Chain A
Amino acid sequence: MNHAIISCLHANLPAAEAVLNDIDRQGIDTITCLGDLVGYGPQPNEVVELIRKRDIATCQGCWDEDIIDGLNACECSYPSQLAERRGHLAHQWTDDQLTDENKSFLASLPTSLRRDRLLFVHGSPNSQHEYLLPDMDAFAALERVETAGADILFCGHTHQPYVRELRDGSIRVRLQNAAHDCDQGEELTLPMRKIVNAGSVGEPRHGSTNATYVIHNDATDEVEIKEVPYDVGRTCQAIVEAGLPKVFAWRLSHGFEFAEQAEDASHVCER
């Protein structure tokens, strides 16, 4: 059966509607959302209400968490002071706009969802703020999936969709100095695992302005990355009218050129 995974809607209503229409057109009725319903974009209430109305299973994203808990992420989340100021501005604006009811909905979201061997999270199983980039250390990537007890890990947060297969892994170890003087090494064979990043519906950073999401077939394990064009101009205009930083609109209308990402994406926030 095909099911769809969406992430990082970021208060971009035209993009969210376009992606849901695309999924509906294919007759897919199981949808999982990996969070970041709000932040950056101009229509946080509308997007949250759309997800609630459609009753889409959703886990909590980094922006959803920060709106509830306050901005206490360490500076590692931002690549520059300028980006940090803009981030704070968007946070404040979103905080002012969101209704109490929508805030409590965000607060009620779980940090992960599990269906059999499939695990759904926003950033990583460790944290909504950890980036699993496509080229991160392969052993560390496998550790995230394996420690969480999943075969396939679905994540978002990087805004770049990808499918990564980790296979034929092994680690040889040897005990030095053992009390019972056995110097023979041992080899651990690692299991095959997959990480699927759903990209971003409302704030894509993969090089084009199209919204992205993924479809997974749970019988064949095939994954398809989908691109959906939407009315970018409508969202950009709403950003400007809302008084949000213009660079957010600029970024949407240019694809990835103005993408901002924490420099040290492997940094694990200790909070």
Chain B
Amino acid sequence: MIERWALVSGLRGDLETYDLIQRDLKKTRGVTSLFVLGDLVGPERNCDALLDRIKNPHRGDLKPDCIYGWWEEQLLAERGFRGERKADALRLSQGEDAVNALLNTVNPSNLNWLASLQFGFIELDCALIHGSSSDVGDNLTSETSPLILLDRLTRLNVNRLFTARSTKQFHLELTGGGINSQVKDLNGKREQQQEVPKRSVIGIGAGLNYTLYDVGSDKTHFLTAGSQTKTKGMGFA
């Protein structure tokens, strides 16, 4: 079967957005998997209704596979699920009020489920991670140094990295280049030539902005839920 993935992130408790995306996907041909790359929760609104819908899909919903994101990491850390660590990154960037707001958006009964989520998925030769293997908060965009992007791909030994943290939609391909290296040790010198492997980093967007990925043809489609114009030619019934 030809695989087509839908990739979603940054819902931050917004059930309405999730519902719009599910409706979109129902009308889109051939979507085989739905991946939610973290940030299911956020400080803006109560997140329990969204979490319930994700855990117990409606009839006709595409069943989501979820990993945790930066906001889950902050929540879980503050709630004692990360050993000594607390929500330091959130506290530092947005202050104590933001930490308290986040704590109040999720019923404690949902914490164990959130804590059971994985850091990432490896599917075929693709890695699906909220930030990167370096950090859940790794903010990769099309402006990030290609050297860093290549490093993040190399760490996982994958050809494609799908990332969500930046909330941007982009598909950056590494198409060529190389580097020379000379190593000198007590046995002498040796030269090495290495080429840039053909790999790419894909930003999937956040909220209403989501991505379809055709695995066979390596094509990405950047969509906005509920907007018909952009989805033309995407196999709408």
A residues with a Cβ closer than 8 A to B are 126, 134-135, 137-143, 146-147, 160-178, 185, 187-188, 190, 206-208, 212, 223, 225, 227, 266, 268, 270
Contacts and interface: CB of A to CB of B under 8 A. Distances in A.
Interface string B137-181: 000001001111011001100000000000000111111111111
B186 A138 contact: no
22 contacts: A134-B183, A135-B183, A139-B194, A140-B151, A140-B154, A142-B147, A146-B147, A161-B185, A163-B185, A164-B183, A166-B180, A167-B181, A169-B180, A170-B178, A171-B150, A171-B196, A174-B172, A175-B142, A208-B186, A212-B186, A223-B184, A225-B184
B175 A162 contact: no
The interface residues of chain B, by DSSP majority, are classed as strand
A198 B151 CA distance: 24
The 10 residue pairs across chains A and B that have the minimum distance between CB atoms: A169-B179, A176-B171, A143-B151, A170-B177, A172-B176, A162-B185, A171-B146, A171-B177, A138-B181, A163-B184
A208 to B, nearest CB: 8
Contact of A160 (B146, B147, B182, B185): B185
A139 B147 CA distance: 7
Nearest to A196: B184
Contact of B173 (A174, A207, A208): A174
B154 A137 contact: yes
Contact of B179 (A162, A168, A207, A208): A168
A169 B177 contact: yes
B222 interface: yes
A42 to B, nearest CB: 26
Contacts of B142: 175
B172 A171 contact: no
Contact of B174 (A138, A172, A270): A172
A166 B150 contact: no
B105 interface: no
A143 B150 contact: yes
A173 B179 contact: no
Nearest to A163: B184
A65 B145 CA distance: 31
Contacts of B150: 139-140, 143, 171
A166 B179 CA distance: 7
A135 B148 CA distance: 19
A164 B182 contact: yes
B217 to A, nearest CB: 12
B190 to A, nearest CB: 9
Contacts of A168: 178-180
Nearest to A212: B186
